[in-house]
Structure 1
């Protein structure tokens, strides 16, 4: 469940008649607990409570339904209950059906409210569903509640008006919803004449069955599209109640058709419930980012998950330009001339989000700048001065029409709220209506549009005509953006979409931008298109850029493909946030790992690297340079190598069967073969491992038949049948298989070792703290779903199993979805190791043995079991930590502080070693294959 669904369930619970016996289970169901869990609680099997009639769900909440007037005493009893502590309850809650109190035990924070008011506090309880509490939601849940109400209304209206659900009418539906959002906000902020006038008018003038609700709304919308002076002559005439109560608004919002979808009784109820909320408290950056999913069929299932917290947005905006504005404000002190210059500068700053969604980055940027401007005005004794920061300097592109419409509406609401906050309600109202008709949020495909036309460097002009809710001026180039000599900052959170997840249209978008410029562009995430477009914009019109993006664009092959192109355009990384989790409002949400990358078109002396700590608080370092891997290191690119840089043991892929499944045996097939052949097949069967089999301990087997034994194997009927099936499969399996048709008894390509071998999984979870290599004897056949290090020295196992190596792999490897993809050319062959003494090798060999012995002590636990980060055995972890201690002292004489320090050392060493290898290459051609350890 997500936050919107939880709020809806809690609201439904609060309006139902209170049922003492049922409440605890209904409450737990509202927070996403499964029916099976509730069934066990009802039966008493899982109820850990030691209090009469109470319900305790372990690791969750202890609930007591008490007698009237005893809520406080019941909460004290829950707090004192030994069962509460023993079951590690996160919350306690007591209610008598009239009042309710709850406490978060870790923080000691409490709520106390009327039972019916519980929905206004649901944000406090979101951790019960595994949702990290976001301060803005916790303190003010109106945005989630509003989204929930509008979603219900939207779905009900589409069900009643199927024509409005069709593609050709969806824009009309979205237009209608945006009008409602404005009306709800306007009626609670005195923009309309009288608080609640819009909702009250609908309630009074419409029939309870909803039959004429559309007519009432049409009349209201018509009124807001007709100037007061023209209403007397309007045809048809406005009803007197509409004329009197509603002002002229327009600005494109109420122009055009005033048609409204038909309402049912339920739709009218949802409309009134939405209007009953306090829209004065709406937070446009939160509300807009959540409501954008309401109008999208594909995204409605993730409703409420789009919210981007203000702290995360400020990770982009602060270092991009806001920190510098605040520093200039601090330096200006009370110097009125300096303050005036800063205010003039801010009036010419344009913020451009070319993937703006519902405008949350733009809204936050606007609100932060208004806060700085208000302080300037206070220091200059001009607190009532009208803002000089125009909304039209906050520009955006959005692919979908509804979020684009909401983006502009969110900015309008933000402007009004800022005016009220900094200038007062009277001044804000005096200047709010009518709305400005100018359009500065463009609806279109950002990767196909000319950004310089949409956000020109100087002067005037939006030259892209876009059909949207607010209407487009006849000549957009006439819009004066007051930006002559100003600054432009590009920012946002563009869509990521890795190569395996892009639509054909998205791949075509990326191909048009990157295809002519480089090979390997298909491996790039979709967001790379925005990075390159921003770099091209900045090359022609210098600006600052900062995007939230997947960490994968600064890893592996993507780093070596994308960032040289950016550098060629004269861009350098000026600041970056290394990988952190970008969570949303879904339950048990792990979040996606993202980075923030800031670009500058002019040299920046002081660059800043922000790194998330264990507590989530970022530390910051001032550095001289930031390379494509977000390290304080030279901008060298790690490229695939055919031979190892440091190891003398070669690495290969495993063996490939290309057999139609006939040479591979499951455990059941293996046992059947042994039985049916009377044991004659045993000499031709070997254990068979790929990455999955090795990590998860799932044994498989394969037929392994040497050429000299082919005739003997063919004499075993059960094997002969499989060999014949392989021959037939390869005969019709394409060119690659043709070369192996003549030897159907063998794998198509073989890399079997004659001695011991080291298996390295080629795909493994990003959660792993170590690369889980394994030593095997030569009986094992390793599939091409894993890599083999041939006849490795034991210290090679130690190095592969180190934190140093996995840090390198995370930086340079590719990804398969979120899993790490280990490739020999990028991960093993490029890894830099200092020159090892014999004593170093002996010490590392001892560490390798300790790791293997620690694993063996937990037989039959699988690698997956042993290396689960949350359940790794202590002796195994100690063995790895000792291994890290020994290896890292070889590098720098001590343990590294963190992965950043490890990688900076590794890149320094890689740069030196590759430079030395390139310099020595002509002289050492004859000994190219000889590598030191």
Structure 2
């Protein structure tokens, strides 16, 4: 059947008629291939209708976004996945936790064989696949035996005392047809050579995979795609799951590659300088303590080989053997299969670099047998001592020859001399916010932070890698750089994590502010991340990278980068109970604690049947973030003590009050129980005399301005928003500004990628220059203009008005005038960008917190208002 498909694929008629699919069947088995993306289907003939989704492109329905680059890797991964799933179905005993590792190890062996047979490593193109096709029965009854015999051959030497000698294979009883396979060694085929059983369908899939041109494999990204084959969680994004090379270089270039390239440029044609640079590169170690399938290590290796090749060219030594050992590219990875694939990807990368820079003949001569050195550790990076994996130069212990593809949990170090070498730590560790960590992850993080007497409860999982890198830097001079969610440099995490890192002697020496770290998954918009580089070395000039909306890069050379990734002195923003600046008091809204008794939908409000007078006495419009932003209509019972008797004349109100009372009495919380004494009221009863400003607790990251609004005294704000009661309108101009959005986005942190507001951390810390009466008048006018622009589009909601794609021109212009007015108060002109805004805000914050301020009477808070009203 595979040969029938091959014939159809190569037929001139197929090209002439621009066929999209080719199909073959013998009446028992059905096979098909999508010529567009290389996808295949193999099944029993009566079952092919179950694969109707495979043929949807014939109806013009494309289910997966096509990607021109890396097409081979996508095609190969898809076919390997089909084979993997078929093997799981045929071998249920291999699906257990105890045996899944064996199946993954088998897949790693297959990948090597497919690559080796197409790149002359086996000295016979197509040898592996052709042997399976010729020696295994069509009913697949002995396929596993044929593959096992080939594996045995590749684990049996063909030399004795340095000379070609078949005695070892004769002693092992290797069948003559398997003798054509070379000795591979390196642990890849050591230990058990047991192979899972194959059905006819699985055998067909195997031959389909072998039919691909594996010379096109791209180890840059192939590893993480193959990782998805064996990962249940990642299989949903199969064929689209990997980190792009440009994104990886955003970490590696400023960490050390740019410096190597600069030194190459500086060396010019000077043979001595070029030699010194090459010797330096031979001792550089790259260590990824969350290496996954090795993407960062592979890219680092290939980029260094390119620099080395240019050195060799300039020195007239183009064919000299590389001095950059794979064992200098260390990693830690939790999953065993990923460790195997990482090493395999590096082996493939080394071979391809040798072919590219030294020629295929030399590359082949030096490739086999594989070295037995082990340089990827399988284990938990937060529990392993990194010094045992990548110790200070000159120290080391030997590893067993068979360890390459059988990594022990506590594998330590290669035995080699690396005196005076540099170490660079890099990677993309798992993110996991404090609310999504498993119990085990919380324990791992606690172990790292407890040693420093610091609680890890609010720290993102990735914070453990930053702290361990700083700890490592206490012993080894090194530079480190990780990709992280931007939360690591925002909000409450900053004053917990970063002072600790600084105390260990590391400082930020380069950073890239927030950008989308997107893979090619069609369903994945990407997570917002930063890149942060730290070092224990004194570096005078720091690099601060940023990216505009169009994805264009810019870089600033600055003297300092603080933990918020701003070019400003070190400062850690912590929440304040009172405002730093002379601005109005902001408080939480009112918490119902009502079990649904005090809050009313529009229909429930109507059912109360209140006349206008009673409605004004007992009911208010209730606004949380969603009600304000999306225009949702909601009401609440708002009954002051003096009006309680009158309110109880309405039996529906009485029922609601009783519902609240029961809920509060049944609560296990003492504070809630005590509220049962006043079941007709919210926990807080903050109100205004004239108007209030509402500030949502969460707003979409897509909005260019933080939505803030004005409500009348017939409205109240729930605990799902913040409020400023009877505050002058110029406060709204501050909150609605780009300056304030940048500030809260930095110091408050985010909920997923949305802005998360905090009165104590975002508003009370916001540094505002002393405002003159004219300043306040100008800002008041700006706020009025924003409100008038919104009103002109009634009944559009805030969500409608602040959609960046459809924001009305007059509203955008009103905000621009507001920003112009406010920013001139700060520096006499508009800021150039958000980085400059942050720089000024941190400068002003530092000034205002470093000089003793004159004690002021705090603004009249809403709680005072509530108390004065209730006492009347």
Same-fold status (TM-score > 0.5):
yes
> Does the 8 A contact of 2:509 with 2:533 survive in 1?
yes
- In 1: Cα distance, 2:500 partner to 2:348 partner: 40
Give CA-to-partner distance per residue, 1:839-895, whole Å, 9 cap, x none: 211111111111101111111111111111111111111111111111111111111
Which segments of 5 or more consecutive residues in structure 1 lack a partner in the other structure?
A: 1-11, 19-67, 72-94, 101-114
The reply on whether 1:435 has 2:370 as its aligned counterpart is yes
Give CA-to-partner distance per residue, 1:538-582, whole Å, 9 cap, x none: 111110101111111111111221111111111111111111111
Aligned to 1:509: 444
Change (3 A) 1:516 1:392: closer
The reply on whether 1:614 has 2:614 as its aligned counterpart is no
- In 2: Cα distance, 1:914 partner to 1:465 partner: 59
- In 2: Cα distance, 1:584 partner to 1:535 partner: 29
**SS in structure 2 opposite 1:799?**
helix
Greater mean deviation of Cα atoms: 740-749 or 417-426: 740-749
The reply on whether 1:272 has 2:202 as its aligned counterpart is no
**SS in structure 2 opposite 1:118?**
coil
Q: How do 1:763-782 and structure 2 match up within 5 A?
A: 763-782=698-717
Quote the offset at 1:678 in angstroms: 11
Q: How do 1:653-802 and structure 2 match up within 5 A?
A: 653-674=588-609, 683-733=617-667, 734-802=669-737
Residue in structure 2 matching 1:558, options 482, 485, 493: 493
The reply on whether 1:152 has 2:152 as its aligned counterpart is no
> Does the 8 A contact of 2:372 with 2:402 survive in 1?
no
Quote the offset at 1:158 in angstroms: 0.4
> Does the 8 A contact of 1:766 with 1:819 survive in 2?
yes
Quote the offset at 1:237 in angstroms: 1.8
- In 1: Cα distance, 2:661 partner to 2:389 partner: 62
Greater mean deviation of Cα atoms: 556-565 or 406-415: 556-565
- In 1: Cα distance, 2:65 partner to 2:563 partner: 31
Residue in structure 2 matching 1:411, options 346, 357, 363: 346
> Does the 8 A contact of 2:183 with 2:369 survive in 1?
yes
Q: How do 1:348-747 and structure 2 match up within 5 A?
A: 348-461=283-396, 470-471=405-406, 479-517=414-452, 519=454, 521-674=456-609, 683-733=617-667, 734-747=669-682
Residue in structure 2 matching 1:206, options 115, 122, 136: 136
Give CA-to-partner distance per residue, 1:725-750, whole Å, 9 cap, x none: 11111111121212211111111222
**SS in structure 2 opposite 1:540?**
coil
Aligned to 2:45: none
**SS in structure 1 opposite 2:608?**
helix
**SS in structure 2 opposite 1:269?**
helix
> Does the 8 A contact of 1:773 with 1:801 survive in 2?
yes
- In 2: Cα distance, 1:386 partner to 1:251 partner: 20
- In 1: Cα distance, 2:167 partner to 2:135 partner: 20
**SS in structure 1 opposite 2:804?**
coil
Change (3 A) 1:841 1:518: farther
Aligned to 1:142: 72
Change (3 A) 1:749 1:516: farther
Quote the offset at 1:479 in angstroms: 3.1
> Does the 8 A contact of 2:153 with 2:169 survive in 1?
no
Change (3 A) 1:211 1:822: same
Change (3 A) 1:456 1:463: farther
> Does the 8 A contact of 1:391 with 1:411 survive in 2?
yes
Change (3 A) 1:96 1:897: farther
- In 2: Cα distance, 1:647 partner to 1:589 partner: 44
**SS in structure 1 opposite 2:287?**
strand
Which segments of 5 or more consecutive residues in structure 2 lack a partner in the other structure?
A: 22-32, 41-56, 159-164, 861-872
Give CA-to-partner distance per residue, 1:758-807, whole Å, 9 cap, x none: 00000111111111111011111110110001211111111111111101
**SS in structure 2 opposite 1:565?**
helix
The reply on whether 1:929 has 2:858 as its aligned counterpart is yes
**SS in structure 2 opposite 1:674?**
coil
Change (3 A) 1:200 1:792: same
Residue in structure 2 matching 1:262, options 172, 193, 197: 197
Aligned to 1:9: none
Cα RMSD over matched residues? 2.7
Residue in structure 2 matching 1:306, options 228, 232, 241: 241
Aligned to 2:37: 119
> Does the 8 A contact of 1:438 with 1:473 survive in 2?
no
Give CA-to-partner distance per residue, 1:576-616, whole Å, 9 cap, x none: 11111111111153211111111110110111111112331
Quote the offset at 1:686 in angstroms: 1.2
- In 1: Cα distance, 2:723 partner to 2:498 partner: 32
> Does the 8 A contact of 2:87 with 2:198 survive in 1?
yes
Aligned to 1:97: 18
Greater mean deviation of Cα atoms: 391-400 or 500-509: 500-509
The reply on whether 1:226 has 2:147 as its aligned counterpart is no
- In 2: Cα distance, 1:800 partner to 1:864 partner: 17
Quote the offset at 1:753 in angstroms: 2.1
Aligned to 2:865: none
Quote the offset at 1:478 in angstroms: 7.6
Quote the offset at 1:906 in angstroms: 0.8
- In 1: Cα distance, 2:544 partner to 2:741 partner: 21
Quote the offset at 1:514 in angstroms: 1.5
Quote the offset at 1:304 in angstroms: 3.2
Give CA-to-partner distance per residue, 1:681-726, whole Å, 9 cap, x none: 6631211111111111111111111011112212211111111111
Quote the offset at 1:232 in angstroms: 5.4
- In 2: Cα distance, 1:530 partner to 1:464 partner: 26
Residue in structure 1 matching 2:173, options 237, 250, 264: 237
> Does the 8 A contact of 1:175 with 1:402 survive in 2?
yes
Quote the offset at 1:270 in angstroms: 1.1
- In 2: Cα distance, 1:624 partner to 1:464 partner: 44
Quote the offset at 1:170 in angstroms: 0.8
**SS in structure 1 opposite 2:292?**
coil
**SS in structure 1 opposite 2:622?**
strand
> Does the 8 A contact of 2:591 with 2:682 survive in 1?
yes
Residue in structure 1 matching 2:119, options 189, 194, 203: 189
Q: How many residues align?
A: 817
Give CA-to-partner distance per residue, 1:128-172, whole Å, 9 cap, x none: 979998xxx634411111111111111110011111110000110
> Does the 8 A contact of 2:377 with 2:411 survive in 1?
no
Quote the offset at 1:521 in angstroms: 2.6
- In 1: Cα distance, 2:686 partner to 2:402 partner: 61
Quote the offset at 1:465 in angstroms: 9.6
Aligned to 1:291: 226
Greater mean deviation of Cα atoms: 201-210 or 321-330: 201-210
- In 2: Cα distance, 1:657 partner to 1:99 partner: 62
> Does the 8 A contact of 1:218 with 1:260 survive in 2?
yes
- In 2: Cα distance, 1:907 partner to 1:466 partner: 56
Quote the offset at 1:319 in angstroms: 0.9
> Does the 8 A contact of 2:389 with 2:413 survive in 1?
no
- In 2: Cα distance, 1:281 partner to 1:478 partner: 33
- In 1: Cα distance, 2:381 partner to 2:608 partner: 60
Give CA-to-partner distance per residue, 1:295-338, whole Å, 9 cap, x none: 11122112234311111111111111111111111111111111
Change (3 A) 1:499 1:99: closer
TM-score, normalised via structure 2 length: 0.90
Change (3 A) 1:712 1:862: same
Quote the offset at 1:234 in angstroms: 4.9
